[in-house]
Amino acid sequence: MDKRGFSKKIIGWYWANLRDLPWRNTQDPYRIWLSEVILQQTRVAQGLPYYHEFVRLFPNIRSLASASEDQVMRAWQGLGYYSRARHLHACAKLVVARYNGKFPRESHALRVLPGIGVYTAAAIASMAFGQPEAVVDGNVYRVLARIFGMDDDISAPAGKKAFEKKAKELLDTGQPGIYNQAIMEFGALQCTPKSPGCATCIFSSACHARAKNLQHALPVKGKRAKVRTRYFTYLIPAKGKKLAMKKRGVNDIWAGLYDFYVVEGKRPQRPETIIKNDKGLAPILPYLNIEMKGGLYKHVLTHQHIFARFVLLSLPRTFPAKKVAAGLGARFYSPAEIALLPKPALVSRFFKQSGLLE
């Protein structure tokens, strides 16, 4: 199948089948960039409400750049892969500072910006500025591998280069933004991972995977990373209705979000045992009222399974509570303040089920 025939077919299919999505009704690079970052590792149905909320809160790149980190993280709360939100914020600040609030048009200049890789740069350059850049995402890998019988490993550098080359060969340079959206939409709706619509596919007679019954074998991808199991015990000093919380560091999951002082172990342990072995809490153990809040919470991430328990440590009224919290790298927040903090979904679920903020 030649380049012109392929692009003509897939663009024709696109105009007949495309979903009505808000970022398709604009050439504003800010909104296109925002949608692309939100939809990384995220289904459209899940990402769409976040897109609308970000546009409402931060209607342009200057408003996003001037927002606080907590405001951005709170808007992102629940979407996961929080490094995206931090990069989003950093990118907005840099575009305002270096480019006076206007995204550069060229892909190579876009790739210098925080959080913008090869794919996102190509998407912005082609869709916002009409630059002849081909996108390659999971949908594109799948479509090209199946139709053209490409068995290169997409997790290997050589495999990625092979697909990038093929994508560039097929790109409709006259309307690159439309073509890129068309091939991605085709992968999302027609050439799907588990149940491709081969019977109604416009490429059924020319598709290598259908002819060889290889739909579920292509694209080829190396083994997934092993899932890591982690056990968290959250220790929550409480002073009346106020709870001690802390902001997570940048070197682990949920960076920039707020949770509690946590002790991680190889297996669940009794709270009293953990406190006895903790330098900051051991001296005050006799004064604590220890209460387990709920059972064992399970939270699943892509490469991690978190098992967490939440333990409330009520302090006597006369106790120097602020000093205790500070020793744990935390500080006390009222229920109203906690409601406004950006938190991991696991902690939000705990609050909802425990009723501690009511």
pLDDT at 302 exceeding the cut of 90: no
Q: Residue 174 corresponds to which amino acid?
A: G
- The closest of 310, 292, 299, 295 to 346, measured between CA atoms, is 299
Report the run of H or E that residue 9 belongs to, with start and end.
helix 3-17
Q: Does the pLDDT of residue 253 top 80, yes or no?
A: yes
Residue 340: pLDDT band (50, 70, 90) is: very high
Lowest-confidence segment of 10-14, 36-40, 186-190, 251-255 by average pLDDT: 251-255
Strand partners of residue 231: 265, 307
Residue 220 buriedness (CB in 10 A; 0-12 / 13-18 / 19+): middle
Q: Rounded to an integer, what distance in angstroms lies between the CA atom of residue 75 and that of residue 224?
A: 30
Alpha-carbon span 48 to 38, nearest angstrom: 8
- Which tokens in the block code for residue 83? 């490094």
Residue for token pair 């890129």: 180
- Residue 307 backbone phi and psi in degrees, to 5: -115, 120
For residues 110 and 124, the answer to whether their CB atoms sit within 8 Å is: yes
| From-to residues of CATH 1.10.340.30 in the chain | 3-212
Residues 102-153: tens digit of each pLDDT: 999 999 999 999 999 999 999 999 999 999 999 999 999 999 999 999 999 9
The active-site residue out of 36, 164, 185, 358 is 36
> Where in the chain are all domains bearing CATH 3.90.79.10?
228-354
Strand partners, 331: 245
Determine the 3-state secondary structure of 35 from DSSP. helix
pLDDT at 311: 96
* pLDDT tens digits, 281-294: 888 888 889 999 98
From the list 2, 18, 8, 1, the residue with the least C-alpha distance to 187 is 18
3, pLDDT greater than 80: no
Question: pLDDT, tens digit, for every residue of 14-73?
Answer: 999 999 999 998 999 999 999 999 999 899 999 999 999 999 999 999 999 999 999 999
Determine whether 36 is an active site residue.
Answer: yes
Q: Which residue, 195, 222, 199, 219, is CA-closest to 209?
A: 219
Whole-number pLDDT of residue 267: 86
For residue 2, pLDDT over 80 is answered with: no
Please count the other Cβ atoms lying within 10 Å of the Cβ belonging to residue 282: 12
Residues 137 and 145: beta-carbon distance below 8 Å: no
Which of 278, 299, 312, 291 is CA-nearest to residue 343?
Answer: 299
With a CB cutoff of 8 Å and minimum separation 6, the contacts of 190 are 13, 17, 196, 197, 200, 201
Across all residues in the chain, what is the average pLDDT?
93
Amino acid 358: pLDDT: 84
What local confidence, expressed as pLDDT, does residue 316 receive? 86
- pLDDT class of 251 with cuts at 50, 70, 90: confident
* Distance between CA atoms of residues 6 and 348, nearest Å: 47
Residue 294 has a pLDDT of 87
d(CA 167, CA 179): 11
Residue-wise pLDDT for 209-221, tens only, equals 999 999 999 999 9
Q: For a pLDDT cut of 90, what percent of the chain falls above it?
A: 81
CB atoms within 10 A of CB 115: 18
More confident residue, 269 or 115: 115
> CA-to-CA distance for 195 and 191, rounded, in angstroms?
8
> What's residue 321's pLDDT?
86
Side chain identity at residue 311, one-letter code: V
The pLDDT, as a whole number, for residue 1 is: 67
CATH architecture of 228-354: Alpha-Beta Complex (3.90)
Fold observed for domain 3-212: Endonuclease III; domain 1 (1.10.340)
Query: What is the distance, to the nearest Å, from the Cα of residue 260 to the centroid of all Cα atoms in its chain?
Result: 22
pLDDT of 224 > 80? The answer is no
